[in-house]
Structure 1
Amino acid sequence: MSPAAGGSGRADGDDAAGDARTVEVGGESPYAVHVGPGVLSRLAAHAEPGRRVLVVHQQGREDFAREAAELLAAQGAAPELAVVPDAEAAKRVEVLAGLWARLGQSGFTRSDLVVGIGGGATTDLAGFVAASWLRGVQVVQVPTSLLAVVDAAVGGKTGINTAEGKNLVGAFHPPVEVLCDPAWLQTQPRADYVSGLAEVIKCGFIADPAILDLIEAAPERAVDPSLDPALALELITRAVRVKAEVVAADLTESSLREILNYGHTFGHAIEQVEHFTWRHGDAVAVGMVYVAELAHRAGVTDADLVERHRRVLGAVGLPTAYRPGRWEELRTAMGRDKKTRGSTLRFVVLEGLARPTRLVAPSEEDLEAAYAALSG
């Protein structure tokens, strides 16, 4: 299940924005991810006289939204700003319906554009709005959090939540471009940035061990992008490249793309049991430790690799344990996971570092024992 070395995602070095790096995402609908200073200026290329643009932005990102609107308006486009709630509260059906109403009232057509500005929940929502309106309009994603740029905004997965689970309603709808200035990430609360590192570390375990080496060499610098912007840019670029190579080969998660869900089955269960009060990356961090313990009990992963999960995640302050007494709720939630087939649970596990595979139908004994290892 490993992505091929030197696949369709590649860093092309500096681009026209100065020190920005570009990763090309191949496949049927290719696009570029630009990471670096000044990249928001590229948004002007998507404007034209009379083009309607709905700028969906997270609360607290009004400055970026206004700057985007000014760039678009300067080229003759007609931008509208639509603020949405912070975090997972944005991904409610009621919020989605409100945006649909805005599009209908403004007469948005298939030639118009949606722009998503904010964290992962906002880009998920904006992407689904674009995917569902008139069966698909273009979307440009402008992630302003680490989690969003390395995960949610890249790859074309969009979705909203229901009472029954996270991202159970969604569509695959690649953006036409992704723009992220790492300076924006310095405005994130430290805990949110660290949470985003879980997805970066995941990419290290499943495909690019150099990510783990960089973090282990300087964890105190990895958690603060203002201390070492070059390290932050390198980690972001490597994580985006991993995701780009995988989604270019498997947009609709029919096989290879499942590896990007490493740690997510148990992580999503935590989010649901905790009513989405946990940060996504924190839940995924615990989920990676859980699945490493599960794979060890199934004879797939060795003890040293399990311990490295705890060591790397713990070094940057991510959680590696979960409270006892919630097994039945967690088990029920895992049964709703998108990788489940019928009543059969499927997990992405590691045969070794950067060697992902599937574990299908692990025993109930092993499932519960792995939980006990987290909560003992």
Structure 2
Amino acid sequence: MTPDAEASGTGSAPTRVPVGLGDRSYDILIGPGLLAQAGARIAALAPGAACVVVTDRHVAARHLPALGASLDAAGLRHAAVVVAPGEGSKSFDAYAEVCGAVLDARAERGDIVVALGGGVVGDLAGFVAATLKRGMRFVQVPTSLLAQVDSSVGGKTGINAPQGKNLVGAFHQPSLVLADTGCLDTLSPREFRAGYAEVAKYGLIDDAAFFDWLDGNRAAVFGENGPARRHAIAQSCRAKAAVVARDEHEHGDRALLNLGHTFGHALERLSRYDGTRLVHGEAVAIGIALAFRFSAAQGLCPMSDADRVAAHLRAVGLPTRIRDVPGWTDGAEAILDAMMQDKKVTRGRLNLILARGIGRSFVAPDVQAEAVRGFLDDELVKD
């Protein structure tokens, strides 16, 4: 679908992207005004259900009153639990706190956990829904660009462990995703840029035409909340929905969605999930640039493609080198060790998503650690 075909007015119907998973299929709805419609849409999905909204302190101040009013208008009983913003809330302590709050609200198995926020809130609330009462329904109301195009879709839920990111979790699909594009107007420029790294990722995986479109339209995507932005979100969701429908539990090509993430997760862990230094989307941007440069160093793709990818990310203000992380001091051995604790490592073998070119990514099993270590050594001495 072309961007002109993505309706953009506040009175228009939202763009619908279906996720086909048989009796667990659900819709992603994209457009402005969906927060105000959330109550009616949840009531239609689960008549009479109560809701427990999980959100963070920043998002609660911006959007919880509107969601609460929508739930009230639909006659839905609801409670809310508010956690601290940031990656630190993807923890065992926060998980226990939210579980306790949902139980204290006397939520039944047929009630709805609503995730209102970015990727951290979605992962945490989804994991609570996956595990409480052996599985509750949940609805994603993503408020960040990163969550709207990536983490709210596909059913990956979880929390972090001291040993690494997302190591405790479950696959648990939402019943509905409501991506209100109006919420993006409240994001800081840094938050929006961080989410854009995941948008670019979809073009780099297997859709060179989409990356070409982004190259020519990035200013419009970053500009007003109009057709270009909505098209970028919808196209990203279509790409992810198609992969999830083929490979829900990441036994095959769903792993391609991890382009840049093994490098990126290692950088996040070594920066101790300090959002003042590095947020997830920035780590992914560096990871994508590293994956393309490593691919070029291994003779898999042209260096001109790696340079083009890095230039595109830099043009929107994203970091592309390890040294771009403020206060970085760790060496190649520490980065490699963190990568080896990634959940995508298989029997001690490092699996990476590499590229033969833009739009031509592939799963590379059993990548030699020594090659990665040497590459990282070189990266750390570059400006």
TM-score (structure 1 length as normaliser)? 0.91
Amino acid at match of 2:315: A
- Structure 1 partner of 2:326: none
RMSD of aligned residue pairs (Cα, Å): 2.1
1:207-232 deviation per Cα after TM superposition (whole angstroms, max 9, x unaligned): 2223322332244443x342x62211
Q: CA deviation at 1:364?
A: 3.2
Q: Which runs of 5+ in 1 are unaligned?
A: 1-5, 7-11
- Structure 2 partner of 1:371: 376
1:1-376 correspondence to structure 2 within 5 Å: 18-28=12-22, 29-40=24-35, 41-47=37-43, 51-62=49-60, 63-222=62-221, 224-226=222-224, 229-277=226-274, 278-323=278-323, 325-375=330-380, 376=382
Moved more, 66-75 or 88-97: 66-75
Moved more, 265-274 or 24-33: 24-33
Q: CA deviation at 1:325?
A: 4.5
Equivalenced residues, count: 365
Identity over aligned pairs, percent: 35
Moved more, 323-332 or 96-105: 323-332
SS in 1 for 2:292: helix
Q: State the alpha-carbon separation in 1 of the partners of residues 11 and 77 from structure 2.
A: 25
**Conserved in 2, the CA contact under 8 Å of 1:54 and 1:113?**
yes
**Conserved in 2, the CA contact under 8 Å of 1:54 and 1:80?**
yes
Q: 1:123 and 1:17, CA in 2 relative to 1: closer, same or farther beyond 3 A?
A: farther
Moved more, 143-152 or 35-44: 35-44
**Conserved in 2, the CA contact under 8 Å of 1:55 and 1:116?**
yes
Amino acid at match of 1:358: V
**Conserved in 2, the CA contact under 8 Å of 1:87 and 1:119?**
no
Q: CA deviation at 1:24?
A: 0.7
Q: State the alpha-carbon separation in 2 of the partners of residues 293 and 13 from structure 1.
A: 34
Q: Please state which structure has a larger fraction of its residues in helix.
A: 2
Q: CA deviation at 1:258?
A: 0.1
SS in 2 for 1:343: coil
1:38-81 deviation per Cα after TM superposition (whole angstroms, max 9, x unaligned): 22304323236752210111212224222222222333321001
Q: State the alpha-carbon separation in 1 of the partners of residues 17 and 48 from structure 2.
A: 30
SS in 2 for 1:275: coil
Q: State the alpha-carbon separation in 2 of the partners of residues 182 and 14 from structure 1.
A: 12
Q: 1:193 and 1:218, CA in 2 relative to 1: closer, same or farther beyond 3 A?
A: same
- Structure 2 partner of 1:9: none
Amino acid at match of 1:51: A
1:182-228 deviation per Cα after TM superposition (whole angstroms, max 9, x unaligned): 12111100011001110001111002223322332244443x342x6
Q: State the alpha-carbon separation in 2 of the partners of residues 325 and 54 from structure 1.
A: 41
